[in-house]
Amino acid sequence: MTNDLPVFPLDHLPLFGEADAPALIIRDSCYSYKELNLRIGRLAAFLKSKGFAPGDRVATWLGKGEIACLMPLASVRAGLVHVPVNPVLKAPQVRHILSDSGARLLITNAARATMLDDQEDSASFTIADEKSVLAHIGDSEAQCCEPLPSNTDPDDLAAILYTSGSTGRPKGVMLSHANLALGAVSVARYLNLRADDVTLAVLPLSFDYGQNQLLSTWRAGGCVVPLDYLAPRDVIKACEKYGVTTLAAVPPLWVQLVEQNWSDEAVSSMRRLTNSGGALTPSLVKMLRSIFCSKTDIFAMYGLTEAFRSTYLDPRLIDENPTSMGNAIPFAEIMVVAPDGTEAAPGEAGELVHAGPLVAHGYWQDATRTAERFKPAPAFSEYGGMAVWSGDTVRKDSDGLLYFVGRDDAMIKTSGNRVSPTEIEEVAVESGLVAEACALGRKDERLGAAIVLFVRGSGDMDALTAHLRGNLPNFMQPAEIIWLDQFPKNANGKLDRNLLAQQLAA
């Protein structure tokens, strides 16, 4: 299916830029495409020197430094599979990802490494210090791996990205060379990225949306400036300093950014703004328009890690259709499937189903959950094959534009993150302070959804709050904890989430 598509080995991306053109700016260091390719080769040689078998997993738990940016390409050049870990995760989540993926190596910094020192399972993987690896790839005498041959199998596994599920712990989505390479081509194409573009990468590189900031920009021959920001003003200052042309964010960050004063220098070079991880609101679109002139395109997008990205809205349509998801991105087939399996008529709600070469290869070592989400495409599909059944309900209007209706599963989308209620509940119960727990989302204008945690237990709020802060990242912290004497149960004796949700909405 991918033979007639522009598929290439993932590590060939640096070859699309002019050798002397800027490719990556890390703090005060600017690397050309020639230097980028060289440093990727040195990092790949370092990985190969460890003697791992082809297909072994190597993980990173880092901020947006040089290693985090090079690893998606260096790992595949070494014949390995990259497992990026979100730097804001705490030790329990990191241990699960390392154990589940079977990672042989973790590259992290000294402070994070100490968080794993006292764990029994730390002996199953080797920890490499970020500083020592940086010294290696900066050594002009270090060995270098050449780019992969062009006949590399596009279905070879390239990365495992961990995403929260509606139940249980995070699950690893398996992505191939074809998935990531075609995703880079697709986004570069519909965003009309160019060689003189500068992308400010503020999103976590452990997310598909965040990682694609690198890959799509390099496919176009442009330059990426990764930024770990502490405050919204840091984003604006970086736009001023580097002449940023492309900025991607999620709705909660846009809400913060439109409340700031933007200088002419920060705005004048901006060509495009892109949004995913939640819908833009009409008021937010208007506020963005009040800051950025009409020559700045605003791209509303929808996606899920299992299918990379599904849709984007032509920026010419966003002012009149600010809540629309748009249409399918290049190389994606997007269908609205009625309950009877037929194609939903215009205006009729149905499940969004994604087919084509961007569809992931399932969940790592989880056949049960793979079978639940990855199923044969509907009979009317043009691509056919395996499809991702999103669980999201959408509708298509008479003009073919898609609109989000609702999510069928229990996921809480907060601050651009998809949060598993079960993961929060498990941590709460593990505290020994509560016997039962239920996490739900409450609509919040700034966050998309605020997390509300219902619990039954001792009532020691301070101790529970401290336990949650010590074991969950900030974006998973409840905005409110409600203590109950007893939980409502349904006819099957299970906790009645629907009734709690109704009480929350009342």
pLDDT band at 365; cut points 50, 70, 90:
very high
Which amino acid is residue 464, in one-letter code?
L
Distance separating alpha carbons of residues 165 and 503, to the nearest angstrom: 24
Position 494 scores a pLDDT of 63
Average predicted confidence (pLDDT) for the chain: 91
For 246-290, write each residue's pLDDT tens digit. Answer: 999 988 888 889 989 999 999 999 999 999 877 788 888 999 999
Specify the pairing of strand 386-396 against strand 374-376. Answer: antiparallel
Question: Taking the model in full, what pTM does it have?
Answer: 0.87
Average pLDDT over residues 463-471: 95
Position 255 scores a pLDDT of 85
For 279-323, write each residue's pLDDT tens digit. Answer: 788 888 999 999 998 899 999 999 889 998 899 999 999 999 988
Question: 356: closest CA among 392, 380, 385, 376?
Answer: 385
Backbone angles phi, psi at 28, to 5 degrees: -100, 10
List CB contacts of 268: < 8 A, sequence separation 6 or more.
none
Which amino acid is residue 102, in one-letter code?
G
Contact (CB, 8 A) for 172 and 161: yes
- What percent of the chain is predicted at pLDDT more than 70? 95
For 28-52, write each residue's pLDDT tens digit. Answer: 899 999 999 999 999 999 999 999 9
Distance separating alpha carbons of residues 383 and 476, to the nearest angstrom: 37
pLDDT band at 206; cut points 50, 70, 90:
very high
Distance separating alpha carbons of residues 34 and 318, to the nearest angstrom: 39
Which amino acid is residue 321, in one-letter code?
N
Tokens of 344: 């939903």
Position 278 scores a pLDDT of 76
Q: State whether CATH 3.30.300.30 applies to domain 412-505.
A: yes
360 DSSP assignment: -
Contact (CB, 8 A) for 158 and 182: no
Beta bridge partners of 299: 274
